[in-house]
Structures are given as C-alpha cells and as structure tokens.
Amino acid sequence: MDQQSALKSKERARFQVADELGGIELLDAQYERQNFSRHSHEGYTIGVIERGAQCFYRTGSNHVAPQDAIILVNADEMHTGHSAVEGGWAYKAMYPLPEQFQAINQELGNASYGAPYFPNAVVYDPELANQFRLVFNTLAQSENRMLRETLVYASLVKLMLRYGKTPPKLVETSKSQQQLMRVKEFLDDYPQADVSLEELAKLANISPFHLVRAFQKQFGYPPHAYQIQTRLRYARKLLKAGRSISDTAQDCGFHDQSHFHRHFKKAMGITPKQYIQH
C-alpha cells in the first residue's frame, strides 16, 4: 500500500438520517487530511470530538475543539474545518434544523423564542458530551423508537437551555445591504444559473469589484463561492429525491461529475455516493 492509499485508509465517514423529529442528518467520521472548505448547513452542527482535535473558523475567528469538547455551529453559519493535531480527528455530529428546535420550544411553551442562537463555538461539558454520545450510539444501534425519541429530545432541550440564547435582533437593513440581499436571493433562487459577476453587479447597482468585497464582508463568501454553496444545497435536495449523481451534477450547474464530487466532498466530508447510500 502506498503512502497516499495508507492515508486514505485512515479516513472514514458514515452518513445516515434518523427518523426522529421528522429526520435528522448524522455523521460519524474520522479524518486526517480532510480540509473542509468554507460552507454552511441548513441545520445546526452539534458535534462531539471523540479523538484528536479539530480546528475550525466560525463567527469571525478560529477555534480549536479538543477531545470530549462539543462543537456548535448555528444554521446557515459559514465555517471551515481541519485537523488541529498530527493524526487527525474523529467526531460524531448531528444537524438538526431550526424548525426542529422551534417545535421543541413550542412544546415547552416557549413558542415565541423560536430557534436558538449558540454564541459559543466550543463548549466543554463532559456530562452533555456523554449524553450526546449515548444519543449517537442509540440512533446507530437501537430500533426502540421511544428510547430514540426520548434521548434526542432530552439532549437537544438540555443543550438549548444551557447554551442557547435568543438570536441577535435584526437591525434595520441599509440600502447597501438590500442591494446585496438581491444578489444573495437571486443565487438562492437560481443556483444552477450561469451568471456573470457583471450581471450580478448590475442587479445590485454597484461595481463588480465592490460587489465581491461587500458580499464577502456581509455573508462570509465571495459571490462565486456562495453560488457553489447554493448549488450543493440544491444537489442534496435532488439526491434525496432520487436523482442520479450525474444528472444532479448537470442540473446544478457543475462543469462535470468530478467537479461536483470534489466540491461536495470538501463541503460535506462525504461523497455524493455516500450521501445517497444512507
């Protein structure tokens, strides 16, 4: 076995979807060379580091999560990820959606609270980390629906009560922010569109150069990188609906299947094939 194959053999990733709360995506992974590109998820990221340590960017700065730490990333929040130590890291994570947290708050009689905001990127709470380990293991091994639902519900409630805050209040948007939102909404609505930077700049009524700088400052990505994120989200929807990988790559505007595969792996940590095999 050559060095490249040996390194790859140390990496593994298992993706699944649990039925609880209408469906929660789960990932059990071990990485050594994986370097997550800037990306975001529709759901929150709640992960427990099982071995090694992960370094990641979130909320304007870099963070390191050592073994037994809990990683928290809010829904739609741009973040990255790579190993912080030689030998890589292993972790288990779930990705509950904002509406799932909202449903929990509604059941608790806190409907007005909506989905929480987690200000801390890394928390060290051994008790809660062990509770999430129990959740991950139960979802992977047990078919007892009542036990599964009870553990998922209890762990998310405890996490929210201990570390969740009310989302920051939205301030009134300025004219420049409204211009940028027009571009963002266009990319959200038409992820597969073959659109030029100049055309997007005209949509915002600003210069292409100013658009790149302002868009990245506002949303964490330049427009072309954000377009890749919208295409990946659209791709996941198509794959879930049973679309083939090759057709999905074409329908989402990727140059070819290998281009799609590369971006999907860098953002998700798994391949499109692994994604549809859960």
Structural domain spans, the chain: 3-163, 175-276
Q: Which of 278, 1, 20 is nearest to 146 (CA)?
A: 20
What's the CATH superfamily of 3-163? Jelly Rolls (2.60.120.10)
User: What pLDDT is recorded for position 197?
Assistant: 93
Instruction: Measure the CA–CA gap between 151 and 146, rounded to whole angstroms.
Output: 9
Q: Are 235 and 270 in contact (CB under 8 A)?
A: no
Q: Report helix, strand or coil for 39.
A: strand
Contact 57, 99 (CB under 8 A): no
Angle at which helices 197-204 and 175-189 cross, to 10°:
140
For domain 175-276, say whether CATH 1.10.10.60 is its number: yes
Beta partners for 36? 81
pLDDT at position 59: 85
Write down the pLDDT at residue 3.
46
Tokens coding 257: 């299947």
E-strand stretches of the chain: 12-18, 24-31, 36-39, 45-58, 61-66, 70-73, 79-83, 89-95, 122-123
The helix/strand/coil state of 196 is coil
Tokens 């609270």 identify what position? 113
Q: Name the burial class of residue 169, with classes exposed (0-12), middle (13-18) and buried (19+) by CB atoms within 10 angstroms of its CB.
A: exposed
| pLDDT by 10s per residue, the chain, length 278 | 444 444 455 799 999 999 888 899 999 999 999 999 999 999 999 999 999 999 999 988 999 999 999 999 999 999 999 999 999 999 999 999 999 999 888 888 876 778 999 999 999 999 999 999 999 999 999 999 999 999 999 999 999 999 999 877 655 567 788 999 999 999 999 999 999 999 999 999 999 999 999 999 999 899 999 999 999 999 999 999 999 999 999 999 999 999 999 999 999 999 999 999 87
Distance (Å, whole) CA 142 – CA 121: 30
Q: Quick check: 176 and 128 in contact, CB under 8 A?
A: no
C-alpha 265 chain-centroid distance: 13
Alpha-carbon span 188 to 199, nearest angstrom:
15
Could you give the CA distance from residue 34 to residue 8 in angstroms, rounded to a whole number? 10
Give me the half-sphere count of Cα atoms (radius 13 Å) on the Cβ side of residue 16. 12
Rounded to two decimals, what is the model's pTM?
0.87
